[in-house]
Amino acid sequence: MLRITELRLPLSHAPDALRPAIVARLGVRDAALRDFHVFRRGYDARSKSRITLIYTLDCEVEDEAQVLARLTRDPQVRLAPDTRYRLIGSAPADFHSSGRPRPIVVGFGPCGIFAALVLAQMGLRPIVLERGRTVRHRTRDTWGLWRRRVLDPESNVQFGEGGAGTFSDGKLWSQISDPRHLTRKVLTEFVKAGAPEEILYVSKPHIGTFRLVSMVEKIRADIESLGGEVRFEQQVTDLRIESGQVCGVTLRGGEELRTDHVVLALGHSARDTFAMLHERGVHMVAKPFSIGLRVEHPQGLIDADRFGKSAGNPLLGAADYRLVHHARNGRSVYSFCMCPGGTVVAATSEVGRVVTNGMSQYSRAERNANAGIVVAI
């Protein structure tokens, strides 16, 4: 397969315009193009009057080596990378009968879900310990906070199946380097669990809260079908360490579970658990953080400002934005977690604390856009 990057077409291009554009770019006969698929589609809206779509395409052509040799100086045509995910090893054949302890995953947010899924796919039958409740139950508890102002400190926006990301915008992109294409594994598993296939190719994919609920349940069912076990309302209160080696965990009810391997997928709000780990001498490094507030704008205002007359085009969707200001004193103020067509929500997990977040549904059809405006501390 050959990969073409930065193939640009106008926003209004015909549905069948990709094939002739590929043929022209590669300089081959139409019959020589056996197949192609869109790997990524983004847009360039710097000129509101000439918005263009930007495609990355994987193509199967005749005489691939000859075409590549002819275009060797074109940096936007190269061999397509292998984005398949491969498990590194699997459970020993005697793992189940040997009595060896099963790995434990603490937390069932995004990190814990995928750690448990991969361990289960390797045949290691992980045990997941989640302090909160199932995603359906915690949805009711979260609406209890939003509608009745009743907070359950163990089942809320932060704690429970799916983690904080379940009640958020559902963004599926970041600015990290991903040379091994590990994010492709995440997107593929999400599609298997019911996410729209477009998340595999749009440049800024997202899912939205309501769709995530059933998807999280489906992934949990996959983990359990592979021998994994997910236990809810099970808070880890102590980490057992002997001779510098993890040997188990203690639960809030006093139960102890033996294990040689613990995956700590705590998220960012389990401060009591972090305090326990610090007391146990687990190495930690304090990271810088930012603090600020949420702002809202009418989504129509943002759409018009970004897209001009193309506002409302279904290929563009609700417009986002990114703001950065570098102050003369060396500090920066910037937008964070911008949610097009979304809602500002209360995200408190502890009594006496105030936390806000932004979330969107898949349609991003709410009246307002919102974003965090924060400054580094």
The tens digit of pLDDT for each residue in 271-309 reads 999 999 999 888 899 888 899 999 999 999 999 999 999
The pLDDT tens digits for 34-64 are 999 999 999 999 999 999 999 999 999 999 9
Q: What is the DSSP string of 85-127?
A: --------TTTTTTTPPPPEEE--SHHHHHHHHHHHHTT---E
pLDDT at 237 over 90: yes
Quote the pLDDT of residue 244.
85
Query: What's the whole-number mean pLDDT along residues 136-156?
Result: 93
Domain residues of the chain, as ranges?
2-79, 104-279, 290-376
Complete DSSP assignment for 319-330: -----EEE-TTS
- What topology is assigned to 104-279 in CATH? FAD/NAD(P)-binding domain (3.50.50)
Report percent pLDDT > 70 for the chain.
100
Radius of gyration, alpha carbons of the chain: 24
Is the CB of residue 158 less than 8 Å from the CB of residue 107?
Answer: no
CB 167 within 8 A of CB 198: no
CATH number, span 2-79: 3.30.70.2700
